[in-house]
Chains A and B, each alone.
Chain A
Amino acid sequence: MPTLASLNLGPIEFLSPVWLLLIPLLGGLSVWMARRSLSGLASATKVVALVIRVVVIAALAGAMAEPQFRKVSEDVAVNAVIDASRSVPADLQQQVEVFIADAAAEGKENNDRLGTITVAKDAIVQSLPSRAVTGVDRRFVGGTDGTDLASGIQLALATNPRDAAARVLLFSDGLETSGSLLQAAEAAKAAGVPIDVMPLRYRYDNEVIVDRVVTAGTAREGETINIRVVATATKPATGRLVILENGVPLDLDPSGEGQGVAVSLNAGTNVLQVPAPVYGRGAHEYKAVFEADRSAGGLLIDQIVENNTGTSVTFVSGEGRVLVLRNMATEIDQSADLVAALQEAGIRSEVTSPDRADLTVKGLAGFDAVLMVNQDAYSYSYEAQEALRQYVHDTGGGLVMVGGDTSFGAGGWIGSPLEDALPIRLDPPQKRQMPRGALALVIHSVEVPQGTYWGKKICEAAVGALSRLDYVGIVEYGWQAGVDWTLPMQLKGDGTAAQAAISKLVFGDMPDFDPSLELALKGLLATDAGQRHVIVISDGDPNLGTAVLKKYQDNNVTISAVGVNPHSAGDVRTLQRMATYTKGEYYEVKNSELATLPEIFMKEAVTVRRSLIQEGEFQPVMVAGVETLRGIAAVPPLMGYVVAAEREGLAQVTLRGKENDPVGAQWQYGLGRSVTFTSDATTRWARAWVGWGQYGQFWEQTVRWAMRPSGSPNVRVTTEARDEKTLVVVEAVDEQGRRLPTAVFQGRMATPDGEGAAVDLRQVGPGRFEALIDTPDSGTYVMSMRYSAPPTVEGGPVTEGSVQAAVVKPFADEFRALEDNASLLTQVAEITGGRVLEADARTAELWSREGLEMPVATRAIWLPVALAGIGLFLTDVAVRRVRLDVVRAYYAMRRGLRQSKEKAGMQLEGLQAARAQARERMAGAASAQSQDRDVSRPTGTVQPRPEGVAKRKFEATEEQLRVAKGGKVALGGEAETEEQAKRRQAEQARPAGEEEQGMSRLLKAKQRAREEMKDE
């Protein structure tokens, strides 16, 4: 019944204090009543009884008032949020660390706690608030080219201890590139946490910023374009401007020394123009770098170098080009026949290997199609696979994937981002009967920075490369269960079980390889797999026996060992022994090569995937009415292919193999098209094809179908940066140079975060189209626009084509600011009731209790209070019913103790004697029973009470009180009769030794009561 606010009485708080009103009310009432009801008691007993009664009432009323015990904390916890972004000069960051270390040493109470959080692109807890923390111990701070101060504050609020008064201390220049510090400050205010701020003040007086580089979005081959560099200088400055075209410096001043040209900048905005001819089709990246001269005193007139570069991309249109990716390491050029066929068809191609190609969206955008010949997934980084997917989906490029023994599912592409772009599913059809593979991962430590992250990544890569029909299991050493399956050996299926298990991995410290290898082998042998393989990842220091390796050898199960930073040559030998003994591979990975780890795992996992290869001659079945097979009546037989499944939806199968497997398939994916051919293009599987008359025609038609329509030199794109957005302007003219009155554009943009976004072009005039696109992050945005326009003259051709453009944001906004933004920090302090500390502030102020709300821990105590009340209530009864003689109690206890000591040696004889004595006494007591009487025993309790004589058991009537003056009265009973009085006197005269105790006395009393009742 919380009708009143809570009430604090010292350390006790009452949540419903209204119940306390019962204390005076009922207390007064019982005092008033006690005057009558307790009058029969001795005065001291009366007072005690009354006090107890009032206390009982107080306790019960107090319990109902919901009392809580409050403990107020005396400790302060300071969470220091340190801006670690690149905009804060290094010397200021140093000062912050010194300040915090001083603060930890001075003015801090023993149990005060210090925590540190760094904030740049992400907020990261460096040390949780603790009394042991004595400074800043920066470990991983994440990316420093951005500042999200708000997330730093949020993290501080989340990690503040609850048993200490919290304060947040923010060290920053006040420049944020994401998040909202003011919103976070409001949250801190709501949480009652003041944010003290220490502005890190600076101002760059000598600074040059390359704002942007502007080039035409598109150009024709051989054309000279204008590279415009827009630079801002705070003071007049001199230096050199260097322009790099695709990484190669342009010789801007053939007469001068070195690369680049000397320039002088005025204070304010400067525009520098450099003409450059463009040769070669595709994307041309122009990077402008300003190198400032030193002043006369040797000082750099430019302080931040990160903001001295700018980049722009120009796409040079020309004849269509295809990038052919093949494995250069193999002796036989598997792409030779294909490339020859393309050349014959007039399609220009560039043949290279994946490690040499520029597999970025920007690099790929210069090609109209990519032809992958028997490529495995582990030769491609995740980013490259994603770029290829984006290249097709968002920039409209074509993809032709040609098979071989290390391609498609047998090449580890299952689960890769590029699989999404293919017109087939790389997992075999669900109902297909085929040999399965079984893979067990044995996971030990991954002793590298962010080891857990990498460990999980590699497990994902390995499991991802398996098909749904393969078995997979993961064994690791857990700190709770020891060696056990984290993922029991099972069919991969959709991979969700594996994914869940991977997320639970703990990378325990395994002392011994043997139990894990035994368990893995047991799991593998229990499957019906044709190929069984184990991958072990470890630093190599667990023990390894030979017996277990022998078992692997006997069962033909291979182990590949991946050593991550092995501690010594001995560890390397352990892992090597494991691999060589079982005919597996050994890999050693150092910190600098971590990115290769997932690829190794993928490659190793694929060793169980050889079963996807189907060899043996078959006649492919052609599907009628397909554009890529136009003019081809029949195809020769093939000798093998990689099994895959049909993809539902718009994908079209063009050639079918055994059991209707899709050998040839094609579809439109986003803006681009992709084609798969799961057999190969060499004499291994396509022996009959290479000599086939229509071989060239087949591949020309296939590649041309996939290729992006060639760009028109008559469509020009320019881009212009507008803060966080970019304006894209497309100007389109027809063959005769007339502006296109209307055109339909379908545009997409590949963004740096790997996502795609639509580009909506709006016509703003004849032949002029514009779009304002979001370009908030630094990186490259590649746009691709397909267009079609009706003929400008009746009967003329429809204008169709595509055009690419790119926007490059070279550096983060972090580096644009030339001075701090202390006013934002002041605002934050004002909102939260914090203080603005300057660099010379006394460190002791950090621990000041002023303005802090000390947290209170409460514990409900109604139950003990209620129990105490009830206990006292029983005492209340006892006080009036039982008379306690303390002095006699003491003597009795003493005597008892003495006797027990005396008896200690008596043992059995003593016990027997006591027993005999007791028997005698009982016999004697039985004979004396009829006369037995005990004065202290309340006779009334066994007598029926006459009506109206006493209201309560324990209250005396007036009559009893009156009689009491002359003789003793048994409380609650009738007045003593004359006969009873005589009997009592006789009893009192009897020697004390004859008194009876215990049950016998009780029985006697009972018998007596019965007699008395009969008398009545």
Chain B
Amino acid sequence: MGDRRTSPAREDFARVLGPVTRAGLVRALAGAAAVAGGVAWLAGCEEAPKEAAPLPVERVLGERGTFPGQFAYPRAIDFDGRDLWVIDKEARVQQIDPETGFAGVWWRMPEQELGKPTGVTVAPAAGPDGSLVPALYVADTHYHRVLVYALPGERPEKPREIEPVLLASFGSAGTEPGQFVYPTDVEVLLDAGGDGVERIYVSEYGGNDRVSVFDGGYRFLFSFGVLGEGLDPGALEFSRPQAMAIDRERGELIIADACNHRLGRFSLDGALLGWVGMPGAGSGGGAGGGAGVRLDFPYSVALLGDSTVLVTEFGGARLRRVDPRTGVSLGVFGIAGRGEGELATPWAAVVDGRVTYVLDSGNNRVVVTELAGVVGAGRGDAERGQH
């Protein structure tokens, strides 16, 4: 203890504080320990929590219901840099203020009897004059097509139903090239200069589980993958490819192969680069075929800034940050439940900077959260809002 008298500054403090007692020393030590603990705790926050826990909730958007700003089992979400776009089982496409949860414009899908869309993507598309305009690609699952709407402009003060501008519709029912059974998601790749759409990737399931690739004029180029249980890791098989993400930097397409409980990494030309993931505890069968992380029905995949991905596990009721190359799980977020920060059959999540918007479908809400280590690929690039 004699070592303590080392600093003149300490002496000054001692003079100011007056007499130093043994109790004072003990308190000082305890204080130091508390500070050290606090620092350690803060440092710990940077690391992923070991045990799954409810999400830290910044705010909650939406509630169960059929009015604008309410959701009836929402299944598709994307972010355009300013607004969220959510599609629910009432077949409503709603523009949602990410701050207040109020709805802006909304419309109902033209047909909805047979089923509702399960995928939406904000990305540029060729406008009427051929130039690129911001657009909303809707995977109109049960009508075997993709509808491309021009992204509406300003968000009105009060909810307003509108007639959206349909830029294009492609695909029809069938298993031939260019046809779809049940399209699930759309991803758009811009050309090198960013002034034209190079490719459009569409995933589908329903026995014809594959990814079809189109050019910017919606002409079919090629497809890859067949329905399969993924028993052979070298085989290009899917069982409900539910979502995709493009890693432009690395020239890779990452696909959530939901019913095989794995992520596939592909070249932009559809060559298989590898699988990661295997069935989780609650997902029962399925081969998985990938290494590392256990995934329980991965339903969406969002690319992060460090080329890792945030996977939404529909079955596991949680989000997971995964390195798609190694299969290492870098963090688990959320648990199943109805309470705050808990998730019930989440379908998707989109990341904008440090903010993650989780589509908590079973609880009819969007949970706004910030998750450790989850930072989006950044705004403002040509493919903003991609998931």
Residues of A within 8 A of B (CB): 105, 127-128, 130-135, 137, 139, 479-484, 508-509, 511-512, 514-516, 518-519, 541, 543, 545, 547-548, 567-568, 570-571, 573-574, 882-885, 888-889, 891-893, 895-897, 899-900, 914-915, 917-918, 921-922, 934, 936-938, 995-1002
Contacts and interface: CB of A to CB of B under 8 A. Distances in A.
Interface of B: 1-22, 25, 63, 65-70, 102-103, 114-115, 142, 158-159, 173, 181-182, 205-207, 209, 227, 229, 239-240, 258-259, 280-286, 296-297, 299, 314-317, 336-337, 344-345, 362
Contacts of A998: 1-2, 4-5, 10, 14, 20
Contacts of B181: 568, 570
Given A543-B259, A915-B6, A132 B315 contact: no
Given A568-B173, A889-B16, A132 B68 contact: yes
Contacts of A571: 206
A1002 B20 contact: yes
B63 A1000 contact: no
Contact of A132 (B65, B205, B283): B65
17 contacts: A131-B69, A132-B67, A132-B70, A139-B66, A481-B336, A482-B296, A511-B297, A543-B259, A570-B182, A884-B17, A888-B12, A892-B9, A936-B19, A938-B19, A996-B5, A998-B20, A999-B4
Nearest to A577: B207
Contacts of B362: 479
A914 B4 CA distance: 10
Contacts of A516: 284
B345 A127 contact: no
A997 B10 contact: yes
Nearest to B296: A482
A921 B336 contact: no
B289 to A, nearest CB: 13
A917 B16 contact: no
Given A514-B229, A514-B284, A997-B14, 8 more contacts: A133-B65, A480-B336, A482-B284, A512-B285, A568-B114, A568-B181, A891-B12, A922-B2
Contacts of B317: 479-480
A748 to B, nearest CB: 48
A131 to B, nearest CB: 8
B284 A518 contact: yes
B103 A132 contact: yes
B158 to A, nearest CB: 8
A884 B19 CA distance: 11
Contacts of B229: 514, 545, 547
Contacts of A892: 9, 12-13, 15-16
Nearest to B100: A110
A1000 B259 CA distance: 71
B243 to A, nearest CB: 13
Contacts of B259: 511-512, 514, 543
A362 B21 CA distance: 99
B351 to A, nearest CB: 23
A899 B70 contact: no
Contacts of B182: 541, 568, 570
Contacts of A921: 5
A567 B65 contact: no
Contact of A896 (B7, B19, B66): B7
Contacts of A484: 282
A999 B239 CA distance: 72
Nearest to B239: A543
Nearest to B71: A132
Contacts of A131: 69
Contacts of B285: 512, 514-515, 518, 548
Nearest to A999: B1
A519 B239 contact: no
A995 B14 CA distance: 11
Contacts, number: 190
A518 B229 CA distance: 14
Given A511-B240, A999-B4, A937 B19 contact: yes
A514 B2 contact: no
Contacts of B18: 882-884, 936
Contact of A514 (B103, B286, B297, B336): B286
B2 A885 contact: no
A543 B285 CA distance: 12
B16 A884 contact: yes
Nearest to B297: A511
A482 B315 contact: yes
Contact of B5 (A514, A885, A934, A997): A997
Contact of B65 (A128, A480, A511, A996): A128
A134 B68 contact: yes
B65 A1002 contact: no
Contacts of A885: 15-16
Nearest to A922: B2
A568 B179 CA distance: 15
A568 B284 contact: no
B173 A512 contact: no
Contact of B206 (A541, A888, A995): A541
A888 B68 CA distance: 63
B335 to A, nearest CB: 9
Given A480-B336, A541-B182, A918-B2, A512 B10 contact: no
Given A483-B283, A888-B12, A997-B14, A130 B4 contact: no
A884 B15 CA distance: 9
Contacts of A519: 284
4 shortest A-B CB distances, which residue pairs?
A482-B282, A515-B284, A896-B9, A892-B12
Contacts of B17: 882, 884
A442 to B, nearest CB: 12
Contacts of B1: 998-999
Interface centre among B142, B158, B285, B297 (most CB of A within 10 A): B285
Nearest to B284: A515
A573 B182 CA distance: 14
A511 B182 CA distance: 13
Nearest to A925: B5
Nearest to A573: B207
Nearest to B361: A509
A283 to B, nearest CB: 43
Nearest to A480: B336
Nearest to B209: A543
B25 A999 contact: yes
Contacts of A996: 5
B345 A509 contact: yes
Nearest to B229: A545
Nearest to B4: A998
A933 to B, nearest CB: 13
A570 B206 contact: yes
Contacts of B63: 130, 132
A402 B191 CA distance: 79
Contacts of A1002: 20-22
Contacts of B3: 915, 918
A529 to B, nearest CB: 22
Contacts of B239: 512, 543, 545
B371 to A, nearest CB: 21
Contacts of B314: 511
Contacts of B344: 479-480
A567 B114 contact: yes
Contact of A895 (B9, B22, B207, B345): B9
B282 A511 contact: no
Contacts of B240: 511-512, 543
B104 to A, nearest CB: 13
A379 to B, nearest CB: 32
Contacts of A508: 345
A130 B101 CA distance: 13
Contacts of B65: 127-128, 130, 132-133
A479 B68 contact: no
Contacts of A888: 12, 15-16
Nearest to B144: A568
A895 B68 contact: no
